[in-house]
């Protein structure tokens, strides 16, 4: 196989360790992790609390640096970069979605989404507002651009956060428990959006505790005690759009049942 024709991985880490030092104690949060992620993948990272998922995501997201090991992001060697270089790389290549949405409360949806473009020091994107509006339209919130977070449902707030992650056209979307604060229907709605974005070519890595959520991904990586212990494709992958349609049918049937009862 020739290297030249091989697909360039979005992520390639090798032997990554993360040791936290706290006084005399050390915590080995990651103990030698190898992971390669190719363009177009959709990976769910699972594992019990404290297994190292967020530590891994923070390193992949260039929010933290490994104690040992190598990291290439989209072909660029990341380990050893300065803080400023990491910040630029984050802005150019990565989009983040968090459990708590992390939107600015006193700021409209469109202003929240525009923010990463205003931080972009390369100044590549002109007409930042138009890009922000387009990103909100892409997540189905074109009609809510002037709403503040408190005027939106949890699912809508998370979609604003996803629009904010998308507005810079990232290579990779990283999401740490993005459905952790959502009810079950809204969870499926957000997963339908992730699946749609993935079909449009965005590579996605998300952390979840919920096996049902992981079934919407294409590949599941299980972390335990700072190591990857399982890594397998998703069999019988679910389509969130189909699940939403089935929920609607069930809700209609139930409503019709009530009508029949009331008429009797």
Ligand X SMILES: Nc1ncnc2c1ncn2[C@@H]1O[C@H](COP(=O)(O)OP(=O)(O)OP(=O)(O)O)[C@@H](O)[C@H]1O
Q: Which is nearer to Mg ion, 101 or 136 (CB)?
A: 101
Q: What is the DSSP secondary structure assignment for residue 76, as one 8-state letter?
A: E
**Taking CB within 5 to 8 Å according to partner kind, which of ligand X, Mg ion, none is near residue 47?**
ligand X
Find the binding residues for ligand X in span 54-73 (CB under 6 A).
54-55
Burial state string for 69-105 with b = 16 or more CB within 10 A and e = fewer than 16: bebbbbeeebbebeeeebebbbbbbbbbbbbebebee
Using rule CB under 6 A, residue 51 touches ligand X: yes
Taking the complex as a whole, how short is the minimal distance between the CB of residue 170 and ligand X, in angstroms? 22
Query: Which of 200, 202, 201, 178 has the alpha carbon at shortest distance from 189?
Result: 178
Taking the complex as a whole, how short is the minimal distance between the CB of residue 157 and ligand X, in angstroms? 20
From 20-28, 84-92, 119-127, 231-239, span contacting ligand X (CB under 6 A): 20-28
From 49-57, 136-144, 147-155, 251-259, span contacting ligand X (CB under 6 A): 49-57
> Is 138:95 a contact under the CB 8 Å cutoff?
no
CA distance 28 to 245: 44
Choosing from 4, 23, 24, 49, the residue that interacts with ligand X (CB under 6 A) is 49
**Taking CB within 5 to 8 Å according to partner kind, which of Mg ion, ligand X, none is near residue 76?**
none
Residue 31 host element (H or E): strand 25-37
Q: Which is nearer to ligand X, 57 or 166 (CB)?
A: 57
Taking the complex as a whole, how short is the minimal distance between the CB of residue 166 and ligand X, in angstroms? 24
Q: How many CB atoms lie under 10 A from the CB of residue 122?
A: 8
Q: Which is nearer to Mg ion, 74 or 176 (CB)?
A: 176
When CB distances to Mg ion are compared, the closest residue is 54
Q: Which residues bind Mg ion (CB under 5 A)?
A: 54
One DSSP character per residue, 83-95 reads HHHHHHHHHHHEE
Strand runs (DSSP E) across 51-93, as ranges?
A: 68-73, 76-77
CA distance 133 to 115: 12
Taking the complex as a whole, how short is the minimal distance between the CB of residue 22 and ligand X, in angstroms? 6
| SS3 category, 119 | helix
Choosing from 13, 33, 35, 53, the residue that interacts with ligand X (CB under 6 A) is 53
Using rule CB under 6 A, residue 46 touches ligand X: no
Q: How many CB atoms lie under 10 A from the CB of residue 17?
A: 16
Query: Which stretches of the chain bind ligand X, using CB under 6 A?
Result: 20, 22, 27, 29, 47, 49-55
């Amino acid at each position: 196989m020739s290297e030249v024709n091989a697909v360039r991985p979005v992520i390639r880490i090798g032997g990554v360790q993360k040791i936290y030092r706290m006084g005399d104690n050390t915590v080995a949060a990651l103990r030698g992790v190898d992971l390669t992620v190719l363009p177009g993948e959709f990976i769910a990272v699972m594992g019990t609390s404290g297994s190292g998922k967020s530590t891994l995501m923070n390193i992949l997201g260039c929010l933290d640096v490994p104690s040992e090991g190598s990291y290439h992001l989209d072909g660029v060697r990341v380990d050893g970069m300065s803080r400023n270089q990491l910040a630029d790389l984050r802005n150019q290549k990565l989009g983040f979605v968090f459990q708590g949405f992390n939107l600015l409360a006193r700021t409209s949806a469109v202003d929240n989404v525009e923010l990463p473009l205003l931080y972009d020091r390369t100044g590549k994107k002109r007409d930042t507002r138009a890009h922000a509006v387009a990103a909100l339209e892409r997540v189905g919130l074109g009609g809510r651009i002037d709403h503040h977070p408190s005027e939106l449902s949890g699912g809508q707030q998370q979609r604003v956060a996803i629009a904010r992650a998308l507005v810079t056209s990232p290579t990779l979307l990283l999401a740490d428990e993005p459905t952790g604060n959502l009810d079950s229907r809204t969870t499926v709605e957000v997963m339908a959006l992730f699946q749609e974005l993935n079909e449009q070519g965005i590579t996605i890595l998300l952390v979840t505790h919920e096996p049902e959520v992981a079934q919407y991904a294409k590949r599941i990586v299980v972390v335990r005690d700072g190591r990857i212990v399982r890594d397998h494709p998703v069999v019988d992958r679910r389509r969130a759009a189909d699940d939403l349609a089935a929920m609607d049918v069930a809700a209609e049937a139930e409503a019709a049942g009530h009508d029949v009862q009331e008429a009797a």
